[in-house]
Structure 1
Amino acid sequence: MPSPRRDEAECFFPLVRAALRIDRLVAFGHSVGGAMAAVCASLYPHSCLALITESAQAFVEDRTLQGIRIAKGQFEMPGQIERLRKYHDDKAQWVLSAWTETWLSEAFKDWTIESCVASIHSPLLAIHGAQDEYGSVLHPARIARLTTAASECLILEDCHHVPHREMPETILEKVSLHLRSV
Structure 2
Amino acid sequence: MSELINVNADGRALTLEFAWVGPERASLQGEAAEPLVFLHEGLGSLAMWRDFPEQLCTALNRPGLVYSRPGYGRSTPRPAAERWGLDFMHLQAEHVLPALLAALGVTGRYHLFGHSDGGSISLIHAARCGARVASCTVMAPHILVEEFGLVSIREARRAYLETDLRTRLAKYHDDVDSAFWGWNDIWLAPEFPQWNIEALLPALACPVLAIQGVNDQYGTMAQIDGIAQRHADTRLLKLPACGHSPHRDQPAAVIAAGQLFFASLTPA
Confirm or deny a common fold (TM above 0.5): yes
Task: Choose between structure 1 and 2: higher strand proportion.
Answer: 2
- State, as a whole percentage, how many aligned pairs show the same letter: 30
Measured in 1, the distance between the counterparts of 2:263 and 2:210 equals: 16
Aligned twin of 1:136:
220
Measured in 2, the distance between the counterparts of 1:58 and 1:140 equals: 8
Aligned twin of 2:252:
169
Measured in 1, the distance between the counterparts of 2:163 and 2:257 equals: 38
Measured in 1, the distance between the counterparts of 2:110 and 2:229 equals: 21
Measured in 1, the distance between the counterparts of 2:91 and 2:142 equals: 17
Alignment of 1:24-63 (within 5 A): 24-63=109-148
Alignment of 1:113-152 (within 5 A): 113-114=197-198, 119-148=203-232, 150-152=233-235
Count residues in correspondence: 180
Structure 1 consecutive aligned stretches of length 4 or more whose deviation exceeds 4 Å: 115-118
After superposition, the C-alpha distances for 1:103-147 in whole angstroms (9 at most, x for unaligned) are: 111111111123665620110011001110000011011123343
In the alignment, is the contact (CA less than 8 A) between 1:56 and 1:140 conserved in 2? yes
* SS state at 1:135 partner: coil
Give the deviation of 1:78 after TM superposition.
Answer: 4.0
In the alignment, is the contact (CA less than 8 A) between 1:125 and 1:144 conserved in 2? no
* Paired amino acid for 2:254: I
2:182 is the alignment partner of 1:98 = yes
Give the deviation of 1:30 after TM superposition.
Answer: 0.3
Extract unaligned runs of 5+ from structure 1.
none
Give the deviation of 1:77 after TM superposition.
Answer: 2.2
Measured in 1, the distance between the counterparts of 2:124 and 2:172 equals: 23
Task: Choose between structure 1 and 2: higher helix proportion.
Answer: 1
* SS state at 1:88 partner: coil
**Correspondence for 1:74 among 135, 147, 159:** 159
Give the stretch that moved more between structures: 134-143 or 81-90: 81-90
Structure ranking higher on relative contact order (CA contacts 8 Å, 6+ apart): 1
Provide the TM-score with structure 1 as the length reference. Answer: 0.92
* Paired amino acid for 2:124: V
Measured in 1, the distance between the counterparts of 2:91 and 2:114 equals: 15
Measured in 2, the distance between the counterparts of 1:42 and 1:79 equals: 38
In the alignment, is the contact (CA less than 8 A) between 2:86 and 2:192 conserved in 1? no
